[in-house]
Structure 1
């Protein structure tokens, strides 16, 4: 007899689906806790503290596929069993029981027709399986047709869901109906809230539930009623209203957002997000997503026809009042024939203050400029090319020059790999047209021409690598041509050409020493490295600067063949770089505890090619560079320290320093503490044109999640600038949670925009566990405030 008698597994699936679809599950009471399934994560442990043991065993307590296995016995037990073997009829009377793996049915009596696949329980019964306890006053089961009817049903579902229905009926694995339903996740006998429904129909094929005459009672008082409600019971998206969010800030006043999700097709959807600001007006937001076999994308837009707060600011500043606000963000990806991929990204705002006033994730991560670009690329074997159009929107026109647009840029890369004799070849090339919004510019001695740049860079090297050392001689050639358009009356050639050959020799050795601390094995390495570089001088004083800058001050940058990042300047060089790196490795953990490097460049001639540096700067005639050092330390206990140091041997003092230290500590389940310190110093000229070491950044950061007790949680974040002697951001929040409901509040004070104006905001969120949430999504916000924040600890 291989049938699993009661089809209450269908009930469990239906009820769990309907409840889980409403929201996240969390709370309850009763039933004996199986110590084999004690949860270990802080959220689940806290749930047991608040709600007691789960009301039913976990659904994954056993392998359900074993129920129909031929070796799994079906056990019938009763004081009296009448059997008609010919017709396969069984009548069990007196403490009748049926057991099969985790399934257990108990009743005073029941009848089983094995041939018809039907069972009838005329009186009260109790049934349990993994994830479910079910009671009823009578039950009828059709095993073959997967149908069931239960009168006077009461149920408890893992972990803390429970309720009752006058009748539960399943017409197959796809349909379940409950009449006069009540449901809660509060502890039985201590229900703060109940969900009542005259009827609840669950369509598992369509993934939909329909409730009629549904109401939510809180403290015995009805707070919400609807004659009809349709909702999803699985992960498939459905058209409907999403939970609203609300909050308050000094500038915006109170705000309220009511998202509406529209399922246009299985591969298209639209989310409308109208937001009412008490001081600004109504902001209309939308997000359209699409997915096709050859492309996909996302288009977001926000529009505020008349911003009252912004209009007042413009009047105070004496500017023309245009308070229409908008933003657009479009991201599109696709594939074309012949392996060509393409991308489109558009980020635009209607005014330069939009990101200051609406700190959403709609556009960009920079408050200075927004990028829009179109890109196509193809890779065939060792050949790869890209074509790009790039545009910038300058959000700080008074403080920053407009960035150059790449209009367009075509790059090519050929990497055939190793050639005969162990040689390695590479070819890079590009053709770019640089444009400015207003064309070529000239301001006194500073010119900003526009035009085309062509660059080709063949490279040939002969790498020889062994376990204990490596040697790599290399040759490369940089050829660049410019066709320029200069501002009217500006001096300089419009056609420029430059060819710079470069020769290099890179070599290093690897030494290692095993040692022990106690009984724990470690390994220390010592890695000396020499790098010789030669590049002849080419006069580039009249050459434009489209996209080139000085390289950063790190040991790794000392081994580049060009001290400039970009090809508008190819540096002259006759120099030797010497550096050494050491590492301490934990062999057991396979981790790097410490890495430290120090290096210096020794010049055999003066440097003559400059970018922003004064050609008469004495640093260009020195025989050696500053000494560069960097280190990173990672210790057990969550402590990590990263530092960089640059020492000027001519002035015999530091030229630049930076330090970043982080410590993370978890003193108890659900508790988290983060501490951080950032400091940076750089050399700048004072009023007397003397070089002095100035602190440019000095930050203290701290954040924590603190479990006060099982019900109360606190969370906080703090960022303080010692340089400005002010708080940049202060966040404080608290959560109060009972078994089946919670309320969270988060307050934030921060500096916003380039003017660093102080702003106060407050977020509030309510939750009926297992039913839904109302208010601002505090978890998403706190993930940005508290490193490694996890919602289960709050």
Structure 2
């Protein structure tokens, strides 16, 4: 609706093609392209009359009233008085903020802040290009409406909401912020629904704009089968950062295997800039249970984290971070006394400029203290030095010399407990050192294929040498528990993601890569490789990891992109002895120019000893999205072949244009609580949402 009033203590100024002045009546009459303005408000018309005695201005013919915020009011005639503060308009039409459009038989403005409209129609939809007179997707038609320009609110009386010209909703009173309104306090559109755990429920959010830098959203929920729940969301911006937090509290009645009792949650975060190099922040997340979050629709999380940090950046050459971390497991099977908290965790690295040979030297340090109420507690200080020197020979081969040295010192307690279960030590201290050096050679052989593009065959061999490290069972393991041997880490000096486990001895890594690059941007690529350790030493690798033997499993990658919109990608690991599948990840993506995208995938991974429960994953997944004009559709499903049941199924459909939103979503999760062998609460969700842009939206949710 029209914007806020401007200052009214300025004189009226106008221009026109023809001006007459009746000195006896103090009457000014202007004709032809008349433009009058007072402050930032402009009036245009074919004819303009201004009575200097009464201060009454009258405009007729193609009248345009341009407000200070750019909104435009059209009228057949306008009479303004009291320094343009009061007026009467006939045949009003308006182009408002956010594409708002209004029409009324007549309107009256009072005090420069109130517009009273009669027989009014409002919509934010564009007219149909083929038939501009056709009804819009939606419009509000009311007997009267009042625009409060100070409060930036529009109030309708005896209002009907029409869709495609068909009245579907009547209300005696309707209020919403004007399209030009800034953020302001008030009730938001409610959400209705029904669930197995809450029964019927309604959520009526209230938004409180505290000031220009902070706000609060209250989300009270009333349910027929449970006590009320209150959710809150708070946000605040500073010149140097921001904070945001959401929380709730309520009571679960113990239905459908859910725990009974009071519950709540808080999710919060903050980020702050200290100076041009340093910033700090925090994340604090807590919940009474996973069931509470699911039942009251605050998300499905198994693990929550809390941390506070500060970090510094110095270009691309140096970085430092200090933080503290804690975690909360939410599943009924989680033992939080075994989950660690880390204080402090310190990391810093620095990279030198390239030396005269073209090599790069880096140094970093990673130190932490890990504590558990039950289980191993560890303190570690570690430093890594690394050097990388690439060189080309006359034949075009790339030789890379790499070296890496790790020094670590540990103090630990209860090493015989989880997660280490060491049989060689319990409490004590230990220091470790390891050095790895490698010579890496690769030679890309390129052959043109004429009009079919060009082909590349690239053999690669790397020799890595260093002292033996043994199984390292007397060294605490906090950052190297998770290990997966693939083509991605085949040529890493130390193939563990962390530093608590160090790979030792001498090995040879080898791979052959072939690729065919097509002129249309497509490609065909394949890679196969493996590793061979000189010493017959299993080292720190667990059984079935793929590198526990002298000859590793084979790893491979295959990619086919015949055209830009279609790609097949596969990665796998295969047993050295008989080629049986140890790991396989297949995916297909097709992105059609018609707005259709299809994905399909298959994943097989053996049971990993570091996961609880340790079980094989053997799954297929398929999904698609479709965009047709303003319509969009999507579906996704994942099926567990090992368990012979679905994992999750989702589907969605929606329509969205410049003024209207219609959305439907369905989700069915088949995840089970292993302690009760039952589906988790809120495992099924059905959501409907209707939105009238610039007015509000209404949602319905069934769970």
TM-score w.r.t. length of structure 2? 0.78
Change in Cα spacing, 1:476 to 1:750, as seen in structure 2 (3 Å) is closer
Tell me the CA shift for residue 272 of structure 1. Answer: 0.9
Matching residue of 2:372: 436
Matching residue of 2:130: none
Count of equivalent residues: 646
The answer to whether the 8 A contact 1:297-1:330 is kept is yes
Q: 2:106 aligns with which of 160, 166, 174?
A: 166
CA distance in 1, matches of 2:177, 2:569: 51
Trace 1:458-607 onto structure 2 (pairs within 5 A): 458-464=385-391, 468-486=396-414, 492=425, 494-515=428-449, 517=451, 522-539=453-470, 540-549=472-481, 551-585=483-517, 591=521, 593-607=523-537
Matching residue of 2:669: 750
Structure 2: 5+ residue stretches without partners: 6-14, 37-41, 128-132, 162-166, 418-422, 609-614
Tell me the CA shift for residue 561 of structure 1. Answer: 0.7
The answer to whether the 8 A contact 2:485-2:547 is kept is no
Residue 200 (str. 1) matches residue 147 (str. 2): yes
Tell me the CA shift for residue 568 of structure 1. Answer: 1.5
Tell me the CA shift for residue 214 of structure 1. Answer: 3.9
The answer to whether the 8 A contact 1:247-1:762 is kept is no
What SS does the corresponding residue of 1:559 show, helix, strand or coil?
Answer: coil
Trace 1:37-116 onto structure 2 (pairs within 5 A): 92=31, 110-111=47-48
Q: 2:584 aligns with which of 651, 654, 657?
A: 657
Tell me the CA shift for residue 725 of structure 1. Answer: 4.3
What SS does the corresponding residue of 1:537 show, helix, strand or coil?
Answer: coil
Change in Cα spacing, 1:734 to 1:347, as seen in structure 2 (3 Å) is closer
CA distance in 2, matches of 1:293, 1:472: 47
Tell me the CA shift for residue 271 of structure 1. Answer: 0.8
Tell me the CA shift for residue 732 of structure 1. Answer: 5.2
Matching residue of 2:172: 224
Q: 1:697 aligns with which of 611, 615, 618?
A: 618
What SS does the corresponding residue of 1:566 show, helix, strand or coil?
Answer: coil
CA distance in 2, matches of 1:82, 1:269: 53
Cα displacement string for residues 382-408 of structure 1 (whole angstroms, at most 9, x for unaligned residues): 443322211111234636783332222
CA distance in 1, matches of 2:146, 2:71: 23
The answer to whether the 8 A contact 2:121-2:139 is kept is no
Matching residue of 1:680: 603
CA distance in 1, matches of 2:692, 2:330: 43
Matching residue of 1:386: 321
CA distance in 1, matches of 2:155, 2:482: 69
The answer to whether the 8 A contact 1:605-1:621 is kept is no
Tell me the CA shift for residue 469 of structure 1. Answer: 4.1
Aligned alpha-carbon RMSD (Å)? 4.6
Change in Cα spacing, 1:552 to 1:235, as seen in structure 2 (3 Å) is farther
The answer to whether the 8 A contact 1:665-1:674 is kept is yes
Cα displacement string for residues 59-87 of structure 1 (whole angstroms, at most 9, x for unaligned residues): xxxxxxxxxxxxxxx996xxxx7878x99
CA distance in 2, matches of 1:618, 1:166: 81
Change in Cα spacing, 1:220 to 1:453, as seen in structure 2 (3 Å) is closer
Q: 1:762 aligns with which of 656, 665, 686?
A: 686
TM-score w.r.t. length of structure 1? 0.69
Matching residue of 1:302: 248
More RCO (CA 8 Å, sep 6+): 1
The answer to whether the 8 A contact 2:541-2:547 is kept is no
Residue 257 (str. 1) matches residue 203 (str. 2): yes
CA distance in 2, matches of 1:587, 1:170: 70
Change in Cα spacing, 1:221 to 1:731, as seen in structure 2 (3 Å) is closer
Tell me the CA shift for residue 184 of structure 1. Answer: 2.7
The answer to whether the 8 A contact 1:250-1:760 is kept is no
CA distance in 1, matches of 2:605, 2:145: 72
Change in Cα spacing, 1:680 to 1:700, as seen in structure 2 (3 Å) is closer
Query: Going by fraction, where is helix more abundant, 1 or 2?
Result: 1
The answer to whether the 8 A contact 2:79-2:87 is kept is yes
